[in-house]
Structure 1
Amino acid sequence: MTLNARIAPLFYLLAGLFGFAGVALAAAAAHGGGDAHLLASASAMCLAHAPTLFALAIGAEKLKTAWLAGILIGVGTLLFAGDLVVLRYAGSGLFPLAAPSGGFAMMFGWLAIAVGAFIRRG
């Protein structure tokens, strides 16, 4: 069993949790006041990356870089969305530069998917 196959269940878990969180955050943003735009941005990142992680789990055996892309996208989404949610409800973020770090991780995850197009299996 390859690393991609072993990590696929984690990607399914994150996809489901991000999908759930994305819908919940969208509802909170729609009904919240003040800094609700923070929740809308967190929702957008969760809802954009949930199906991506799902697809990476399904295609893990076909894309050699799936494990790297999924880890970067998963951690990046957690950092980005988590920082915005904590900022909205606690008044300060997770740690300095958490959201930008998460954003860069997500971008590099997408690049890992692109690089996978040029890496042959086997």
Structure 2
Amino acid sequence: MVLQRVLIFSGGLAGAAGVGLSAAAAHAGGANTGTAASFLLAHAALLVAVGLLPWNAVLRIGALIVLAGLVFFAGNLLMRDFAGTRLFPMAAPSGGMLMIAGWLVVGVGGLMATRAERNLP
């Protein structure tokens, strides 16, 4: 139950940050800010959707891996634009690899869904 709320909250936060950063990129420029905004918006839906689905541990683990990757990737891009430094060496590539891995785990979780989970209205 707590993990469900964390995923939904994180998805809402990512969506809000994505919209705000899209506006910042449009008005103040910053290619890294625009890229971070796009990634936040694209992954917000995944986090909310997995949080709303019936319990499936594999899906939730995949979503958490995506969330960690999103923090590293977007965080590094935003640090470059706003602080002129990196989050840590290889943060963006590490985050990207985590997002890819997380999406693959989510896909596997979908294959492992129970019959009741597959017959959702």
Instruction: State the alpha-carbon separation in 2 of the partners of residues 11 and 118 from structure 1.
Output: 21
Instruction: State the alpha-carbon separation in 1 of the partners of residues 10 and 40 from structure 2.
Output: 10
List runs of 5+ in structure 1 lacking aligned partners.
none
Aligned equivalent of 2:25, options 4, 25, 29: 29
Three-state SS of the structure 2 residue aligned to 1:117 is helix
Q: Is the 8 A contact 2:59 2:110 kept in 1?
A: no
- TM, length-normalised to structure 2: 0.88
Instruction: State the alpha-carbon separation in 1 of the partners of residues 2 and 45 from structure 2.
Output: 19
- How many pairs are equivalent? 115
Letter of the 2:48 counterpart: F
In structure 2, the partner of 1:48 is: 42
Post-superposition Cα deviations, 1:55-108, rounded to whole Å, max 9, x if no partner, equal 0001142x3412211111111111111110011011111000101111111111
List runs of 5+ in structure 2 lacking aligned partners.
116-121
Instruction: State the alpha-carbon separation in 2 of the partners of residues 120 and 78 from structure 1.
Output: 27
Aligned equivalent of 1:9, options 5, 8, 11: 5
Q: Is the 8 A contact 1:29 1:40 kept in 2?
A: yes
What is the CA-CA distance between 1:16 and the residue it aligns to? 1.0
**Does structure 1 residue 68 correspond to structure 2 residue 80?**
no
* Aligned pairs for 1:71-110 within 5 A: 71-110=64-103
